[in-house]
Amino acid sequence: MTTAALPRVPGDRDPRVSPLRRVTGSPALRLVGKRLLMAIPIMLGVTILTFWVLSLIPGNAAQQLLGAEASPEDVAQLEEQLGLNESGVSRYLSWLGNALHGDLGNSLVSRQPVSEILADRLPVTGELVLLAFVVSLLLAIPVALLAAHKPNGLMDRISMMISTLGLSVANYVLALLLVLVFAVTLGWLPAIGYVPLSDGLWANLKTMILPSAAIGLPLFCFYTRFLRGDLVDQLQQEEYVTTARAKGVGSWQVLLRHAFRNSSFGLITVVGLNLGALIGGTVIIEQIFALPGVGQMLLQAINTRDFVVVQAAVVIFALVAVLANLVVDLMYAVLDPRIRYGSR
Amino acid sequence: MRADRTTYATGDAYVSTGMIDSRAPAEAHRTPAAPGEPLLTVEDLRVQFTRGGRRINAVNGLSYEMVPGKLMAIIGESGSGKSVSSRALMGLLPGTATITGSIRFDGRELIGLDEKELRKLRGGDIAMVFQDPARSLNPTMKIGAQISEAVRAHADLDKKGVQARAVELLRLVRLPAPERRFHEYPHQLSGGMRQRVMIAIALAGEPRLLIADEATTALDVTTQAQIMELLVELRERLGMAVIMISHDLGLAASYAEDVVVMYAGRAVEHAPVRTLFSNVRMPYTRALLGAIPALEREPHSMLPVTPGQPPDMSALPQGCPFRPRCPNATDKCLEHPPFLEHEPDHWYACWHPAGTELDTAPEVTAAVAPATAAEAAHHSTAHDQGAAQ
Amino acid sequence: MAVADTPLQVAENPAADQDDAVPGGRRWRGQLGLWLPGGAIVLIVVACFLGPALLGLPKPVGGSVLESYLPAGSPGHLLGTDPNGNDILSRLLHGGRASLFIAATVNIVGLVVGGTLGALSGYAGGAVDTVIMRILDVLIAFPSLVLTLAVAQALGPSIRNTILALAFFSIPAVARVARSAVLRLRGQPFMAAAELCGTPAWRVLFKHLAPNIAPQLITFAMLGMGIVIIIEGALSFLGLGIPAPAPSWGNMVADGQLSLSATPMLVVWPSLALLLTVLSFNLLGENLRSRWSGR
Ligand SMILES: Nc1ncnc2c1ncn2[C@@H]1O[C@H](COP(=O)(O)OP(=O)(O)OP(=O)(O)O)[C@@H](O)[C@H]1O
Ligand code: SF4
Ligand SMILES: [Mg+2]
């Protein structure tokens, strides 16, 4: 097809523009760039806030390490050694300088580089969150579709009832109930502990099923409710759904090809926004199941006043939240033709 | 410009039913309507919505008839039930709607059809084009996919066949460069082009009745005229009947053969367009005619009719619903006026129709009445026939 | 109501799932959806605050070890006793007292401070809006549990500090809701009219804005009650909320965890109390929300 002969129309892409220009000039990328720029002050704010909050906590790592009976001289010496005696501002600035070079410092307690600790612990938390996400989404989508197909139908009511209930259960309560049923009573799965993936997939999964279920079940309820609500809104309010029905298209096809396709944008946004909050939720679950993840590390570090490690954990959590939003924007750009071609 | 175009291109000679037979697939229930037999008969149609314990009577006993191949306009104020009644024809209303009465299409009762039959009907026998082409196309699907979907719903074709037919439809509605448009998204098209796509989608199942629900309201005046011309042309080529729903009496006068005037969910006057403009009977229609100049200035505005509010559809007044706003109203109007064929081909529901010996129009309306007469004359080429009746 | 594809309805034969077409039934159910959780909340509040006195329950702390692990239904101990010989029902009700008090206070603080900040931000716009919103952005990007953990740790476990820690995370959420509600209202004619009449800003805020955004905020606060109760439980669970001998649902669950296999009821009772309370607030909030949004 020779496009040259055709008249130009709005929204048409000029074939003479090089592919590279097309990518760099794309509205999607500009959007992502804008987001990245906005993320900078947020990350700065988060790290400053952490420093400030941590400086409010009475006692420091030197005191904590040496115990209550230590002489003030010893404590002062260790403080100097650890760089704790400098002013908050200069400590923050030097931390920031190092962090920008990828150096998050050494643990005040174990003297181990934080990056090494994170390398051990991130995979555990990552696996936990990933499992929870994938399973909850894989379950929520079909359930929400079934529910939205006949709003107020039997399936809808059952799923709404379960999800309302599920959203009212605290994850630590759910975790203990799951342990009670599947570990204590049935004995199918271990109550606590962690087996790394390198010791075999099944052995690893056995230790991850309950924790990820404790995180994933409320998530499943949330996604189901959200998606069902959005699908019903689409079906009731969007005119293109009426068009599709007026064509004589079957109800499932209307639901899948039209309503769901558009609802998926909202779902992606919610999943992205959720990720930040979810990561915080892993703290208590890792504690209950004794999983050596970032959350458990954070809790220990707060208790031992190991502020370098706390700071690193907060940065990781905030970074994940920011990155998740970025990925959402990118996915929008890929999925939504209006953004892809820059009309919005 | 619109108002000047007063040629009733097709006049009374609507397309013969034979033409429809030749292209209609041989389906058992598709016995052709005999000449003069109505294609569509709506009788005492009522639609009630229940919302939060409140009942809204959107349609209250609407009746009209339509012969095959006609181009009929339904006009009325916003909220008079035009859209709801036409969506009821296709079973497109939400579950909150309760529908009673009778809708016979080609002799077959549509109310109470099951889902499977309805699906065949939608886009097959009856198709619809909606008001806002920006909202009625799926923004995330390519034009081609959206048309193909309609084609597949009514024809058993392979992938290539579907695509060929879809492109053919785009060509039929004169979309420039159809092969290319096939691969584009709705937002890449102008409003007029999108509405052409909507029409192509509606034509996919070779409907015998096309309902255009304010299909041109969202468009600028020039595009509006182009789309109307296209509809008129397609109707003649394909021999389908068209119902055009509009706020715009001028537009109806320019293109329609028959006009149904709706008020508060009922038909209040129904006549061939000439008769209506020369012998307007309903005080309400007369008020609409008086409002035309304002419409010409503001093509998208709502009909600024007589003083008073449009009726509250959940609490209609006793008797004639127009009574609170009607200059002719008397105590008689507390009784419900029946909708009858008072004169040949001229139906209305009024106790004191204008221009008859029963007319009670008081002198007070003098400010309205002369203008009404003048406008009626201006807008109708049929004024030479005068008020013969 | 079936939306995807609804067969035409005949009045005499409404399909089974079309309950929306039965106004009586809908109204009844709508009322039930309001009164059932509302009544449950009243019941829970009365039980927690008046129950121990009315029932003459023993103190929630300082029980005798001789009376530990009594089974449910023992004389004087309807739900039995815990490892320290304390009456479980009494601990449950006293724990609920703390949870409800903390949650209510946090939400009131959130409503007042967050609501004012959000309304100001939305109403003033410009630089004020930008500054307030950026600060809230930071608070929101900050992992909320980490913040509350740190604050709780910094200030030491106590009811007052728990409230402070949780308020940190309730304020930005309320502020966002208030701001978007105000932004929506700003476009409305009555606001423009008020401004044109020269009504002073504070008057516009309190006379015109507050009553209009109040329903949304109160609905949000109902959902917030559930969230705060859960997070307060988490803090207490981790030993950073209500200090140890005093009961709270969170620390009761945590204590019970230690003997989960032997005496699971120690976990089940506070869990049930948590679930029931949060569920009631969520149902009430959802019901109110659907009312305001008109669906
Ligand atoms: N889904 C619905 N639920 C409740 N009421 C409805 C619904 N759809 C329409 N109505 C009501 O039915 C009445 C008729 O509406 P309809 O859309 O048919 O008017 P219309 O004549 O097409 O007006 P317009 O010219 O503005 O399109 C209105 O009062 C409207 O509020
Ligand atoms: S019946 Fe009466 S109130 Fe109704 S339009 Fe005729 S004159 Fe007016
Ligand atoms: Mg309409």
**Which CATH number does the domain housing residue A163 bear?**
1.10.3720.10
Residue A188 lies in a domain: yes
Contact A288 C234 (CB under 8 A): no
**What is the distance of C-alpha C119 from the center of its chain?**
21
What does DSSP say about strands B346-348 and B340-343: parallel, antiparallel, or unpaired? antiparallel
Q: From ligand 2's centre to the CA of B311, what distance in Å?
A: 14
DSSP state of B183: T
Instruction: Determine the Cα angle at C185 with ends C180 and C191, to 5°.
Output: 145
Buried-exposed string B60-77: b where 16+ CB fall within 10 A, e elsewhere: bbbbbbbbbbbbbbbbbb
Residue A327 lies in a domain: no
Listed residue (A277, A290, A282, A271) closest to A125, CA to CA: A282
Mean pLDDT across chain B, nearest whole number? 78
Amino acid C294: pLDDT: 52
Listed residue (C171, C163, C166) closest to C121, CA to CA: C171
Give contacts of A246 with chain B, Cβ < 8 Å: 90, 92, 122-123, 127-128, 130, 202
Q: Which residues pair with residue B98 across a beta bridge?
A: B48
Sheet containing strand B241-246, edge to edge, reads B126-129, B209-213, B241-246, B71-75, B258-263, B266-272, B346-348, B340-343
Residue B76: nearest ligand to its CA? 1
Tell me the count of B-C CB pairs closer than 8 A: 63
What phi, psi does B245 have (nearest 5°)?
-100, 135
Residue A80 lies in a domain: no
Dihedral angle over CA of C262, C264, C267, C272, nearest 10: -170
Contact C26 B93 (CB under 8 A): no
What does DSSP say about strands B266-272 and B258-263: parallel, antiparallel, or unpaired? antiparallel
Q: From ligand 2's centre to the CA of B353, what distance in Å?
A: 8
Which of B326, B331, B348, B357 has most ligand 2 atoms within 8 Å of CB, for mutation?
B326
Distance CA B181, CA B144 (A): 8
Give yes or no for a contact between A229 and A148, defined as CB atoms under 8 angstroms apart: no
Output the tens digit of pLDDT for each of chain C's 295 residues: 333 333 333 333 333 333 343 444 455 566 777 888 888 899 998 888 887 777 777 777 776 666 676 776 667 767 777 777 777 888 888 888 888 999 999 999 998 998 888 888 888 878 888 888 888 777 776 766 666 777 777 777 788 888 888 887 788 888 888 888 888 777 677 777 777 777 777 777 777 777 777 877 887 888 888 888 888 888 888 877 777 788 888 888 888 887 777 777 888 888 899 999 999 998 888 888 777 665 4
Q: Read out DSSP for C210-246?
A: HHHHHHHHHHHHHHHHHHHHHHHHHHHHTTSSS-TTS
What phi, psi does B63 have (nearest 5°)?
-135, 135
Closest residue in chain A to residue B93, using alpha carbons only = A242
> What is the per-residue pLDDT across B131-171, written as a single tens digit (0 to 9) for each?
888 888 988 889 999 999 999 988 888 889 999 999 989 98
Amino acid B34: pLDDT: 53
Residue A40 lies in a domain: no
Listed residue (B349, B271, B272) closest to B44, CA to CA: B349
Residue A111, C-beta contacts closer than 8 angstroms, at least 6 positions apart: none
- CA of A202 vs chain C CAs: smallest distance (Å): 25
Residue B386, C-beta contacts closer than 8 angstroms, at least 6 positions apart: B278
> What is the per-residue pLDDT across B196-252, written as a single tens digit (0 to 9) for each?
899 999 989 889 999 999 888 878 888 888 888 888 988 888 889 999 999 888 888
For B92, which of A236, A242, A337 is closest by C-beta distance? Answer: A242
Pocket of ligand 2, beta carbon within 6 A: B 282-284, 320, 322-323, 326, 328-329, 333, 337, 350-352
Distance CA A233, CA A225 (A): 12
- CA of B53 vs chain C CAs: smallest distance (Å): 5
Domains and CATH numbers, chain B: 2-24+44-259 (3.40.50.300), 272-294+312-383 (no CATH)
Strands (DSSP E) contained in chain B are 40-51, 54-66, 71-75, 97-105, 108-109, 126-129, 209-213, 241-246, 258-263, 266-272, 340-343, 346-348
Q: Which atom of ligand 2 is nearest to the CA of B328?
A: 7
Residue A257 belongs to what domain range? Answer: 114-303
Show the DSSP H helices in chain C as ranges.
Answer: 23-55, 88-109, 115-124, 126-141, 144-155, 159-186, 189-196, 201-203, 210-237, 249-257, 265-292
Dihedral angle over CA of C32, C36, C38, C39, nearest 10: 130
- CA of A147 vs chain B CAs: smallest distance (Å): 16
Residue A240 lies in a domain: yes
Those residues of chain A that have pLDDT short of 70 are 1-28, 58-62, 64-68, 82-86, 276-277, 338-344
Give yes or no for a contact between C249 and C233, defined as CB atoms under 8 angstroms apart: yes
Contact A167 C238 (CB under 8 A): no
Q: Which atom of ligand 1 is nearest to the CA of B302?
A: 25
Pocket of ligand 1, beta carbon within 6 A: B 49, 51, 56, 58, 76, 78-84, 94, 96, 247, 313
Residue C4, C-beta contacts closer than 8 angstroms, at least 6 positions apart: A148, A149, A150, A235, A245, A251, A252, A254, A255
Q: Is B142 helix (H, G, I), strand (E, B) or coil?
A: coil
Distance CA B228, CA B226 (A): 5
Give yes or no for a contact between B252 and B277, defined as CB atoms under 8 angstroms apart: no
- Give the DSSP H or E segment for B152: helix B143-154
Record the tokens describing residue B217, joined without a space. Answer: 């309201």
Provide the residue count of chain B: 389
Give contacts of A262 with chain B, Cβ < 8 Å: 138-140
Amino acid C277: pLDDT: 92
B256 burial type by CB count under 10 A (0-12 exposed, 13-18 middle, 19+ buried): buried
Q: Is B65 helix (H, G, I), strand (E, B) or coil?
A: strand
Q: How many folded domains does chain A comprise? A: 1
Chains that touch B (3 or more CB pairs under 8 A): A, C
Query: What is the identity of the amino acid at C84?
Result: N
Q: Which residues pair with residue B54 across a beta bridge?
A: B51
Nearest residue (by CA) to ligand 1, atom 25, is B78
Give yes or no for a contact between B127 and B211, defined as CB atoms under 8 angstroms apart: yes
Interface ipTM above 0.90: no
Q: From ligand 1's centre to the CA of B266, what distance in Å?
A: 13
Query: What is the identity of the amino acid at B308?
Result: G
Residue A176 lies in a domain: yes
Contact C145 A281 (CB under 8 A): yes
Instruction: Determine the Cα angle at C123 with ends C119 and C124, to 5°.
Output: 115
Residue A86 lies in a domain: no
Closest residue in chain B to residue A333, using alpha carbons only = B140
Could you tell me the maximum CA-CA distance found in chain B, to the nearest angstrom? 69
Those residues of chain B that have pLDDT short of 50 are 1-33, 293-304, 363-389
DSSP state of A106: B
Give contacts of C15 with chain B, Cβ < 8 Å: 95
Distance CA B186, CA B312 (A): 37
Distance CA C216, CA B14 (A): 58
Q: From ligand 3's centre to the CA of B245, what distance in Å?
A: 8
Place of tokens 């314990």: B53
Record the tokens describing residue B355, joined without a space. Answer: 């221009």
Q: How far lies B272's CA from each of B45, B253, B269, in Å? A: 22, 10, 10
Give yes or no for a contact between A172 and A284, defined as CB atoms under 8 angstroms apart: yes
Q: Which atom of ligand 2 is nearest to the CA of B332?
A: 2
Residue A253, C-beta contacts closer than 8 angstroms, at least 6 positions apart: A244, B149
Residue A107 lies in a domain: no
